Amino acid sequence: MFKLKNQIQNYAWGSKTSISELFGIENPTNEPQAEIWMGAHSGGCSRNVENDDLLSDIIELNKSDVLGSYTENCFGELPYLFKVLAAHTPLSIQVHPNRWKAQLGFVRENEQGIELSDPIRNYKDPNHKPELVYALTPYKAMNGFRPIEQIICLFDEIAIDELKEEVSLLRQEPNSTGLERFFNSVMMLSEKRKSKMLTQLEEAYHKPVTGIVREAVEYSQAFKVYYKGDIGLLSPFIFNVVELAPGEAMFLFAETPHAYIQGTALEVMASSDNVLRAGLTQKHIDIPELIDNVMFKSMAPENLKMQPIIKEGRYEYPIPVDDFGFDILYAEEYNKEQYIRSAEILFCIDDSVVVSSLDKAIELSPGESIFVPYYTRKYTYRGKGRIARVYN
Ligand SMILES: [Zn+2]
């Protein structure tokens, strides 16, 4: 068991202040601190604080003891990547393929000889990328298609003349097929029609609307500041907008369009980098590939937030995939015991906690994390505040 030294990613959309305010991680160069990566991913591998060894090397040297034979046999690597994510400006709307499509796509693009570093490459690895988000500050996002009747109602309210035909077709066929056709035609609009449509959308910003229409209009206007002329300005009328309060969580399923808009959160995902984009981006959008990877199914807004199962003071989030599990542990003044079944990463969210194994006790402050190899088998924790626990 050892403390981790983690890499910070300075992506342009990141907040310059949130991570340093929450966790006291200094930012002397005033760069955006977008993400802290905890895990063994080659794009930003954590290190053992004590000797600077790479976590990936530590795992590679002794896989069955460090990961346990279950993880070694099923995944062959640490199956998850754990992040702190601090978004100041909206990230692209994206969809992640399911595992089967990821495998096929990865092989196909290898055969086509498209380099991994090529900007048109869609499949960077053969894995799916389900994600969990646990908000640390108020957190805005979009997740999944709105109920179809809501989409129709929103478009009726903003009444964009250029899309009259598309909306009317959706009304005639308010099901998965109709939704696919609607989404496809919106994404495929010619440049001329798109710019006409966006002009009409901007005019619609000034209509006296209320409730969810107002909310969608405000999101669209906020996107326009960074993504003028982008088809993603329509997205808040098509996708659910979600605002998580600190301590609330949601799950992002494969084949479900989503976007992170603003706020700081913990994010856990399967170890993958497969992203298909659908707007709010200057990057490449491959529409046929995107459509092929989208499930045209609405998500009920009331089911977007996850309900944890509370067990002995531990909040366990019901994750529908086997790549990772996520709990929030509440430390108390006395020692609580935790048995483990895989390698774990623990992250201290607030206050101060002491995590102990047979031979060691490590004190953690907010923003600090430790790696617990499988062979540790059991640890105890005490103190104040919350620990986020990731395992598989
Ligand atoms: Zn995503």
Question: For position 253, which CATH number holds?
Answer: 2.60.120.10
Residue 136 belongs to a domain: yes
The pLDDT, as a whole number, for residue 312 is 80
Residue 344 belongs to a domain: yes
Structural domains in the chain (count): 3
Helix axes 191-204, 211-226, angle to 10 degrees: 130
279: enclosing H helix or E strand: none
Q: Are residues 381 and 337 in the same domain?
A: yes
Q: Residue 131 and residue 108: Cα distance in Å, rounded?
A: 25
Q: Are residues 212 and 328 in the same domain?
A: no
The pLDDT, as a whole number, for residue 286 is 87
How would DSSP label each residue in 306-354? Answer: --PEEETTEEEE--SSSS-EEEEEE--SS-EEEE-SS-EEEEE-SSEEE
106 C-alpha vs ligand 1 centroid, how far in Å?
18
Q: Are residues 381 and 325 in the same domain?
A: yes
Q: Are residues 257 and 111 in the same domain?
A: yes
Amino acid at 284: H
Q: Are residues 168 and 115 in the same domain?
A: no
Q: Are residues 7 and 59 in the same domain?
A: yes
Q: Residue 327 and residue 268: Cα distance in Å, rounded?
A: 11
132 C-alpha vs ligand 1 centroid, how far in Å?
9
Residue 299 belongs to a domain: no
Q: Residue 141 and residue 348: Cα distance in Å, rounded?
A: 24
Residue 44 belongs to a domain: yes
Q: Are residues 202 and 109 in the same domain?
A: no
The pLDDT, as a whole number, for residue 359 is 86
Residue 298 belongs to a domain: no
The pLDDT, as a whole number, for residue 281 is 86
296 C-alpha vs ligand 1 centroid, how far in Å?
17
Residue 296 belongs to a domain: no
CB 269 within 8 A of CB 131: yes
Q: Are residues 60 and 180 in the same domain?
A: no
The pLDDT, as a whole number, for residue 241 is 96
Q: Are residues 253 and 121 in the same domain?
A: yes
Q: Are residues 22 and 135 in the same domain?
A: yes
The pLDDT, as a whole number, for residue 179 is 98
Residue 342 belongs to a domain: yes
For 61, the 3-state DSSP assignment is: helix
Strand partners, 370: 3, 346
How buried is 50 (Cβ within 10 angstroms: 0-12 exposed, 13-18 middle, 19+ buried)? exposed
Question: Which parts of the chain sit beneath pLDDT 50?
Answer: none
277 C-alpha vs ligand 1 centroid, how far in Å?
10
Q: Are residues 135 and 32 in the same domain?
A: yes
Q: What global pTM score does this model have? A: 0.94
The pLDDT, as a whole number, for residue 204 is 94
How buried is 46 (Cβ within 10 angstroms: 0-12 exposed, 13-18 middle, 19+ buried)? buried
Which residues are part of the catalytic machinery?
Answer: 277
CB 119 within 8 A of CB 215: no
The pLDDT, as a whole number, for residue 256 is 95
The pLDDT, as a whole number, for residue 43 is 85
The pLDDT, as a whole number, for residue 271 is 85
Residue 292 belongs to a domain: no
131 C-alpha vs ligand 1 centroid, how far in Å?
7
Considering all CA atoms of the chain, what is the largest pairwise distance in Å, rounded to the nearest integer?
A: 70
Tokens of 293: 């990877």
Tokens of 9: 């990613």
Task: Tell me which residue range forms the domain holding 195.
Answer: 149-238
How buried is 320 (Cβ within 10 angstroms: 0-12 exposed, 13-18 middle, 19+ buried)? exposed
Angular region, 39: left φ>0, alpha ψ -120 to 50, beta rest = left
Q: Are residues 9 and 49 in the same domain?
A: yes
